[in-house]
Amino acid sequence: MSEINLSGKKVLITGGAGFVGSNLTERAVKCGAEVTVLDDLFTGTLDNITKGINYKFVEGTVTDNDIVVKLVKEADYVAHLAARNIIVSTKNPRNDFEVNIGGTLNVLLAARDHGIDGMVYTSSASVYGNPRILPISEDEKPHTFSPYSVSKLAGENYCHAFFETYGVPVAMVRYSNIYGPKQNPQNPYCGVISKFIEAIDQGVSPQIHGDGRQTRDYTYIDDAVDATLMAMISPRAEGEVFNLGTGSETSVVELITILSKLFDKEIIPEHIDRRDIDNIRRRVLNIEKIRTRLRWQPQIGLDVGLKRTVAWFLNQKG
């Protein structure tokens, strides 16, 4: 991981008790930051943050403007991760709008009015829909196929507008299928990898929606956290949007094959119907922009990342 110095800096992390947020919280503390976490614990949990980590927790939501103003006013940097995820967003588009768009606007207004050294907004590769060209570059025209992708793109647009109009030093990163330790399979909104691991460990056939040939760019959590912090603090990132992935395309069937080797057992998945959110056929990101501008590139390949994730899951069982 890159050397990132946040010594003496105050960092506000919205959504800091979630899967990515908790990993980001711990990394920021280790980099010397005084971290405040704002989270409504809708999907996050304080159990995600390792005991002994020194941080301040505020239970609340980014839709509460008074709380947002107070916390942003105290911060040097802001990492804005708080959002309703794709499954929740599809079930309740109005709540998606209020949190993902309205909450982002609250954070940006507070950043504009009180001044910060840097901010990062976490978006999603889902804004691309089914792209024309692979790997997908940041110049690809967005195709928003879900309420979630609509709201994440709207957040990006607000970030661009606040950078251009008010000079808010904000960068945007588009996450692609982040996985790793702390992605709890008991959480109904977690990613496919942790659900597969739990099913295989229990001797249950993992369920694949559709034929399993759909591909994704799976990104290990440590790499994602590293890139997110770099985008937050780097002046070269301000006003820019970056793909955050690996540049490697993996099908769901290939994922099962790798996991079968790690568990040393034959795995026969169960194919079930596609869901309404399963509308992206292929995804792999071009990461040249973040590599050249921020000198970041992923360090953990899928084989190693899955091995670490499986080890964490088995360790959690005791």
Spans of the chain below 50 pLDDT: 189
- Indicate which residues carry an active-site annotation: 148
Residue 279, pLDDT score: 74
Task: Give the helix/strand (H/E) hosting 307.
Answer: helix 302-316
Residue 278, pLDDT score: 63
Residue 272, pLDDT score: 87
Residue 1, pLDDT score: 57
Residue 62 is encoded by which pair of tokens?
């980014």
Residue 275, pLDDT score: 65
Phi and psi angles of residue 14, each rounded to the nearest 5 degrees, phi first: -80, 140
Domains, the chain, in order of start with CATH, read: 10-179+219-247+286-299 (3.40.50.720)
Phi and psi angles of residue 39, each rounded to the nearest 5 degrees, phi first: -155, 140
Computed over its alpha carbons, how large is the radius of gyration of the chain?
A: 19
Residues 140 and 128 sit within 8 Å (Cβ to Cβ): yes
Task: Give the helix/strand (H/E) hosting 69.
Answer: helix 65-73
Residue 191, pLDDT score: 79
Counted residue by residue, the chain has a size of: 318
Residue pLDDT, tens place only, 110-131: 999 999 999 999 999 999 999 9
Task: Give the helix/strand (H/E) hosting 172.
Answer: strand 170-175
Q: What is the pTM of this model?
A: 0.95
